[in-house]
Structure 1
Amino acid sequence: MWLLIDSGNVLLDAARPGGEHFANHKVVAGRIHYADPFWGEIQISTPEGFERFEVDALAGSKLSVFQEGMPVTIELDSDNVMIDIQSGR
């Protein structure tokens, strides 16, 4: 079993050996356009336009420290759900 762990040692995802499941993960960088205060969704402004993503419950708890307009990088699982967020550099 392959495990994907975030910087806070929280399990983000699991896959069978080989990690093929992780190959479907995506990383999106942009600025926060909107973050639902109830952690249901996030909207990111990218050069291609606005993109909306559902937010995993565990990842949603991280949204409270981010404000609209902040540059961020989010990780999406194979279902296109945000599973991690980090401030952009």
Structure 2
Amino acid sequence: MRWTSALAIYILFWTFSVFLVLPFGVRTSDEAGIERVKGQAESAPHDFAPGKVALRVTIVATILFALFYANYVFEWITPDMVDMTKY
């Protein structure tokens, strides 16, 4: 696999991981015990830490990509194994 392909696949894993990680660790103003601003949605997060989210996303994406790459190298699951046209 070329490094450019690996980078593109890693970016895809990173983007997917954002949607996996974002809902975790979010606290609303009500949960934090702080009064909401007028017009603020009840589900709006109280405090958003983009650095913490980016670190979590990077860790998850790196683990997923490592599993993907290990499967690519060691061929644990191949396209022939999941070919649904045979059945």
The structure richer in helix per residue is 2
Same fold (TM over 0.5): no
TM-score bracket, shorter-length normalisation: under 0.3
Which gives a bigger RCO, structure 1 or 2 (Cα 8 Å, sep 6+)? 2
TM-score, structure 1 as length reference: 0.20
Whose radius of gyration is greater, 1 or 2?
A: 2
The structure richer in strand per residue is 1
